[in-house]
Amino acid sequence: MRFLIFIVLIFSTYSVIGQHCTTDQAHISKLESDPHFEENRKRIKSALSTAPYKEERGDTIIIPVVFHIYHNGDPLGVQENITDELVQAQIEQVNRDFRRNNSDSNMTPAAFMPLAADTEIEFCLATIDPNGEETTGILRNHINTLPDVDESDCWTTDYIDNNFVRPSIWNRDDYLNIYSILSIDDFSNGNCDFFASLGYAQFPGGDASTDAVVLSFYTVGSVTMPNPLQPQFLGRTATHEIGHWLDLEHPWGSSPGSCSLDDDIADTPTQLGAVFDCPTFPEYDNCTTTGDGLMYNNYMQYTNDDCMNMFSIGQRDRMRNLINVGRPTLLESLCEAEILSIESIIGMNATVVDTDISIDWTMDYSSDISHLQLEHGTSLDDLSAISYVELDDVRTSYSHIHDNPESGIHYYRIKIYYTNGTTSDTDVVSVVLHKKDLYIAINPVSDVLRLISSIDYDILTYRILNISGQEMVSGQDIDVLEIDVSSYNSGVYYLLITTNQGPHIFKWIKL
């Protein structure tokens, strides 16, 4: 039923569906329902006003995205049950737009070219979910899994927030949540206007449980993969709504009809209200009457997808500052907390070196990794940490000496701690240590000759001879053999001992 209405709308009245974006309307409702939102907005705006933009070229901010698709049972790829490929194309389009790699950047009017910005903000589909499990970043659910949702209801922004977003949102501190749903409706005139809005977003500072971007499914697409149902949509609704999510307002501000209130961005010209379709340069209105006119090709406008092609430098600064001030945890978020990073530990080996075990490995450095813990055990199911390993981005070879463990089999594994709080384990390596019962602790010897015994010997006599057979020192009846040899000349020596279990001769070297 709903789709009958929809089809009629698409082919008859779609172009006059007025509310390009209902972020401002949703914002008014959210301010009413969230007593802290207004205060938070003021705090963020105050922080922004005193936070100078730091030019950090090359410091790209990458934000993980979880894309929630809600469908009503249509087969995959039909209508609202959009394909993964379309979602991936959408993410790519957003990246192109935010990085000013968009293929239509040459359509920016020459007058605005110097103001067009690479925001150095990117997005990726999340690879790790909030539980640390692997994910494609695309979640697909039937609306019949939502107990209070009915297609015949009026899907206002409140209804969508309460029934779709709240129950399913991933932590907004770590992810940008984007919803693709059947419809965003409007009930402000006392009747439900189906398909009234292309999308909406929540400005920073609002309720964490509704802090998302919501898209009508027929806006999802890209320049190279337009929406199959509505090919005039090239994915710019998402670009626009993410702009709101990062604190950008429409160029006419929140109160159309006034030239004194605008978006608080210096390089987007003052604008009275929304402009639609695609004006020709220059476009003037009552607020901007001369010069280069309105920046009608800005992503935050209501113009057509194939008419918008830039963010301004001022908008870039606002979004990047906002992330620092209002969404700082995103700076720690990771697109690819890479399970791949397991493979970044290469060639882990455990080898016996005298009485110790050396564990060596090579790393492909990954900034996703915070640190490592080397784990050890004498059985596979009883591994525990023996060493914290700090990483740096220069070294590739790491090793740890496990000092003088008992004879027997030893298992080692590296636990990888990612900067987003998740962990993963490498495969276990094992080595067998057969220690002699008696041995010289460190040979060659620099200062002190030390004999180690792994079983309880009584040392009855001892002698040290040089290579010529001359006695250097001798003694008897000791528990621990530790002899200062720092005055000896460099060279080869012998240690002869007799124990309650027989005689032993050790060759050793004085450094």
Give the residue numbers marked as catalytic.
241
Which H/E stretch holds residue 423? strand 423-425
Our CB check for Zn ion shows the closer of 23 and 157 to be: 23
Our CB check for Zn ion shows the closer of 183 and 420 to be: 183
Min separation Cβ 267 and Zn ion, Å? 19
Q: How far apart are CA 466 and CA 509, in angstroms?
A: 10
**Contacting Zn ion within 315-344 (CB under 5 A):** none
Q: How far apart are CA 439 and CA 442, in angstroms?
A: 9
Min separation Cβ 75 and Zn ion, Å? 32
Using an 8 Å Cβ cutoff, are 146 and 17 in contact?
A: no
Span near Zn ion by CB under 5 A; candidates 23-31, 359-367, 430-438, 488-496: 23-31
C-alpha 188: how far from chain center: 38
DSSP annotation string for 202-213 = PPTTS-GGG-EE
Using the CB atoms, write b or e for 499-510: b if 16+ within 10 Å. Answer: beeeebebebeb
**Binder of Zn ion out of 6, 9, 19, 21 (CB under 5 A):** 21
Min separation Cβ 264 and Zn ion, Å? 15
Q: How far apart are CA 8 and CA 5, in angstroms?
A: 5
Min separation Cβ 322 and Zn ion, Å? 16
**Binder of Zn ion out of 23, 119, 219, 321 (CB under 5 A):** 23
Cβ burial, residue 106 (10 Å; 0-12/13-18/19+): exposed
Length of the chain: 511
Min separation Cβ 420 and Zn ion, Å? 30
Helix, strand, or coil (residue 323): helix
Q: Which residues pair with 139 in a beta bridge?
A: 68
Question: Which x/- pattern, by CB under 5 A, does the window 167-206 give for Zn ion?
Answer: ----------------------------------------
Min separation Cβ 276 and Zn ion, Å? 13
Our CB check for Zn ion shows the closer of 21 and 348 to be: 21
# chain residues binding Zn ion, by CB under 5 A: 2
Our CB check for Zn ion shows the closer of 21 and 121 to be: 21
Min separation Cβ 370 and Zn ion, Å? 37
Q: How far apart are CA 332 and CA 101, in angstroms?
A: 25
Residue 70: both structure tokens together: 């809600």
Our CB check for Zn ion shows the closer of 296 and 361 to be: 296
Using the CB atoms, write b or e for 178-195: b if 16+ within 10 Å. Answer: bbbbbbbbbbeeeeebbb
Our CB check for Zn ion shows the closer of 21 and 308 to be: 21
The Cα diameter of the chain in Å comes to 111
Span near Zn ion by CB under 5 A; candidates 18-26, 69-77, 169-177, 391-399: 18-26
Span near Zn ion by CB under 5 A; candidates 13-21, 70-78, 155-163, 460-468: 13-21
Our CB check for Zn ion shows the closer of 128 and 201 to be: 201
Helix, strand, or coil (residue 174): coil
**In sequence order, which residues have a C-beta less than 8 Å from that of residue 291 and are 6 or more positions away?**
269, 282
Q: How far apart are CA 243 and CA 247, in angstroms?
A: 6
Span near Zn ion by CB under 5 A; candidates 17-25, 31-39, 263-271, 312-320: 17-25
Span near Zn ion by CB under 5 A; candidates 21-29, 30-38, 129-137, 148-156: 21-29
- Residues that bind Zn ion in the complex, under the rule CB under 5 A: 21, 23
